[in-house]
Amino acid sequence: MAVTQFVVNGLLVGALFAAVAVGFALIWGVVDIINLAHGEMVMLGGYTSYWVLSLITGNAEGSPALFLVTVPAAIGVLYVVGYALQRTLVSRVIGTDIFLTLLVTFGISIAIQQLAIQAWSANPRSIQVSFADPSLVAAGLVIPKMKLIAFVGAILLTVALYVFLQRTRTGRAIRAVSQNPEAAALVGIDVEHTRAVTFGVSSAIAGGVGAFIATILNIQPQMGLIYTLKSFVIVVFGGVGSIPGALVGGLLLGSVEELTAGFVSSQWTLAVSFTLLIVLLVVKPNGLFGEGAEQ
Amino acid sequence: MSTSESEDSTGLLRTVLPPNQVDRVFDFCGENGWKLLALGAVVGALPPLLGLEQGYYMTVVSEMYLFAILALSWDLVGGQTGYPSFGNMAFFGLGAYVTAILVKDFAVAFPVALIAAGLLALLFAALIGAVVLRLRGHYFAIATLGVLLAAQQISRNLDITGGASGKILLQVPSGTVFYYLFFGVLIAEMALIYYLSNTRFGFILNAIRDDEEKATAMGFNTTYYKTAAWMLAALFTGVAGGTYSLFNTFIDPQTAYNGAWNVELIAMALLGGSGTVAGPVIGAFGLHTLIEFVETAFVGWQLVLLGGAVIVTVIGFPEGVVGTLREYASEMAYYERGGMAAVDSGEDTEVTADE
């Protein structure tokens, strides 16, 4: 029974990891950049939601409906942040050495992190949603309501991205730029703008997930790097540019972490994730679902 | 990039610092490398002899040497061989913990502990290298970052490392000892890398950076060479870490496996000019002085500055101080040769920036 409970917990958290990773994979696939500042977008999204809720209610507590109103705010703010970052900084290193792009995004990551510490202090914060207890109990499994809402929210964001990429004009433009930027430019797509939109959409999803994370875990300025690395594990596992792969990878990583926490100790979850990352990179660098991504 | 624009902006600079003079300085340094290194060794050894022993400035200078060692070690693999590691601090942390544990818990003499730290870092590098050096590009960078964070988490969870609260070391030698230790290691490393950069070994490392497949096709066992460079870098980083643990009198997972430092030393190598011997050292001295200044003047903002410095360096001049100067010097050679030189050199600059 304990195993099922751990797996359920893992799936609930894993959907959030997956939604973060999907955005990370999108930038990687379309702009060919590993965005080491991706985790900072999660952090900023969490803080946006936190501050909007504080503005409405006076403290960071509120009903579920009120909290859900703050999610679009986080998504909107982070879209602008992502778009601006790509347009002002990241676009300058596209096409140069891989290492330089990594370093620029790492620089952005450190700068955002430290500015956040200066602005909001390093103390962890969290959003209290009023109905959080008691949890749902179904067939002996305990499911906290807020985790369920976060799970559904994360899945919705992931599916929304998938539909956006497959069905809309902008989504098609993004896929075209990902496949061949020169040809895309030839048929009249504004490549620079499309890349910035990609960055914005990816950051926006991370921001929305950040808002959910603020309610079930907590947020603090230095939380970002861990989410970036988890995204990397998931993307490597699922294959670059594959949204279903990222979803499966996220759910799996969540389960592995919860099982580690349950059977060994919660202190070892990060060590296990990072070891898994290294092992995966060596054994299966193209992912389980990836279509032969070039190294 | 229009050529006339860059010509105008460098017009004043040209009269103050003519490129052919810079070129001459490069020639001079190239011919007298060993003499300059010996001169530097003598000058660096002087301050404690002249009575400067303890105090803030000696600590800052010692830290400058420390960062120069780290940046140079990173550059041996990151700049010379083309494998940019985000996990060099793993060797630093390992060295620091090995030394701290041996000195404190097993009452081993400091020099012996330091040698053990270096050797263990070397061994660890051999093991990790066998795994991560097979990867390239994004995958290598992230895998090394993963190694660093996994090492940090492990040291946080073990008893022997003192867990998250770390280890406090009280009986430590005086500041002068550390000054000479850091300085000695730095000079030894500079001498070694300078020597290697003119040997077959150094050339093969550069060949791996430029095109690993061609290097393999020419019959070099690239795995052997890059692993050797990686282990050498780990040795120096481990010794530096071991020295640092006693120098700092305190070690915990956050300071030993410091991800921000890892970025800092990459920034130093890049800022100075990666792929050279002098570049990382110049970058380390310059950036550390700047960071130290910001740290005292605006407490808490040094990492914001670091992030900014990294972004500006990468976007502004990825060739670093040494690389930019060298380009500046060679540009003059074009001008002296003839009229189309301006256009040529402009294209030349862009090509190198794209690589």
Specify the higher pLDDT residue, B14 or B276: B276
Output the six-digit token pair for A108. 């952005």
Domain enclosing residue A166, as ranges: 19-224
Residue listed under structure tokens 């097993």: B106
Place A83 in a pLDDT band, splitting at 50, 70 and 90.
Answer: very high
Residue A124 lies in a domain: yes
| E runs forming strands in A171-271 | none
Judge whether B103 and B169 are in contact, CB under 8 Å: yes
Output the six-digit token pair for A113. 């992190």
Residue A142 β-bridge partners: A137
What average pLDDT does the segment A196-220 reach?
92
Q: Which value does ipTM take for this structure? A: 0.75
Residue B333 pLDDT:
54
Residue B334 pLDDT:
58
Residue A35 lies in a domain: yes
Chain B neighbors of A278, CB-CB under 8 A: 131-132, 143, 146-147, 150
Length of chain B: 355
Say how far apart CA A289 and CA A244 lie, in whole Å: 8
pLDDT value at B332 more than 80: no
Place B1 in a pLDDT band, splitting at 50, 70 and 90.
Answer: very low
Residues 6+ apart with CB under 8 A from A123: A220
Specify the higher pLDDT residue, B241 or A292: B241
End-to-end alpha-carbon separation of chain A, Å?
Answer: 42
- Given B153, B304, B353, which is nearest A114 (Cβ)? B304
C-alpha pair distances (Å), B306 with each of B270, B272, B302: 13, 15, 6
Say how far apart CA A239 and CA B38 lie, in whole Å: 53
Mean pLDDT, all residues of chain A: 85
Residue B239 pLDDT:
94
Place B339 in a pLDDT band, splitting at 50, 70 and 90.
Answer: very low
Place B352 in a pLDDT band, splitting at 50, 70 and 90.
Answer: very low
Chain A neighbors of B146, CB-CB under 8 A: 229, 232, 274-275, 277-278, 281
What average pLDDT does the segment B249-257 reach?
87
Estimate the share of chain B in helix, then strand, then coil, as percent rounded to the nearest 5. 80, 0, 20
For the stretch B178-218, pLDDT in tens is: 888 999 999 999 999 999 988 999 999 999 888 888 988 98
Output the six-digit token pair for B193. 């890398």
Place B340 in a pLDDT band, splitting at 50, 70 and 90.
Answer: very low
Residue B327 pLDDT:
74
| Least confident interval from A29-33, B55-59, B340-344 | B340-344
| Least confident interval from A63-77, A84-98, A184-198, B303-317 | B303-317
C-alpha pair distances (Å), A132 with each of A64, A126, B99: 9, 13, 49
Residue A78 pLDDT:
94
Overall domain count for chain A:
1
What average pLDDT does the segment B288-307 reach?
81
Nearest CA among A73, A101, A58 for reference residue A199: A101
Say how far apart CA A170 and CA A49 lie, in whole Å: 27
Q: Which of residues 247-286 of A touch B (CB under 8 A)?
A: 265, 267-268, 270-271, 274-275, 277-278, 281-282, 285
Residue listed under structure tokens 């909107």: A76
How close does chain A come to B93, measured CA to CA in Å? 16
Place A152 in a pLDDT band, splitting at 50, 70 and 90.
Answer: very high
DSSP state for residue A62 in the 8-state scheme: E
Nearest CA among A123, A83, A59, A65 for reference residue A207: A83
Residue B266 pLDDT:
86
C-alpha R_g of chain A: 19
A63 touches chain B (CB under 8 A): no
How close does chain A come to B282, measured CA to CA in Å? 20
Residue A59 lies in a domain: yes
Got the DSSP string for A104-172?
Answer: HHHHHHHHHHHHHHHHH-S--B-PEETT--SPEEETTEEE-HHHHHHHHHHHHHHHHHHHHHHHSHHHH
The amino acid at B30: G
Say how far apart CA A164 and CA A166 lie, in whole Å: 6
pLDDT value at A76 more than 90: yes
Most A CBs within 10 A among B314, B317, B351, hence the mutation to make, goes to B314
Output the six-digit token pair for A274. 């990072």
The amino acid at A98: I
Residue B95 pLDDT:
94
Report chain B residues touching chain A, CB-CB < 8 A.
78, 84, 86, 131-132, 134-139, 141-143, 145-147, 149-150, 153-154, 156-157, 259-260, 263, 266-267, 270, 300-301, 303-304, 306-311, 314-315, 318, 353-355
Place A266 in a pLDDT band, splitting at 50, 70 and 90.
Answer: confident
Most A CBs within 10 A among B75, B85, B213, B310, hence the mutation to make, goes to B310
Place A1 in a pLDDT band, splitting at 50, 70 and 90.
Answer: low
Output the six-digit token pair for A207. 């921001």
The amino acid at B55: G
The amino acid at A170: T
Residue B309 pLDDT:
79
Output the six-digit token pair for B200. 């077959």
Residue A293 lies in a domain: no
pLDDT value at B344 more than 60: no
What average pLDDT does the segment A225-251 reach?
84
For the stretch B24-37, pLDDT in tens is: 777 777 777 788 88
Judge whether A149 and A218 are in contact, CB under 8 Å: no
What average pLDDT does the segment B127-148 reach?
85
Say how far apart CA B86 and CA B267 lie, in whole Å: 11
Specify the higher pLDDT residue, B256 or B42: B256
Residue A195 pLDDT:
92
What average pLDDT does the segment B229-257 reach?
91
Residue A293 pLDDT:
41
Say how far apart CA A272 and CA A20 lie, in whole Å: 19
Residue A196 pLDDT:
93
pLDDT value at A273 more than 90: no
- State whether B315 and A232 contact (CB < 8 Å): no
Chain B neighbors of A225, CB-CB under 8 A: 149, 259
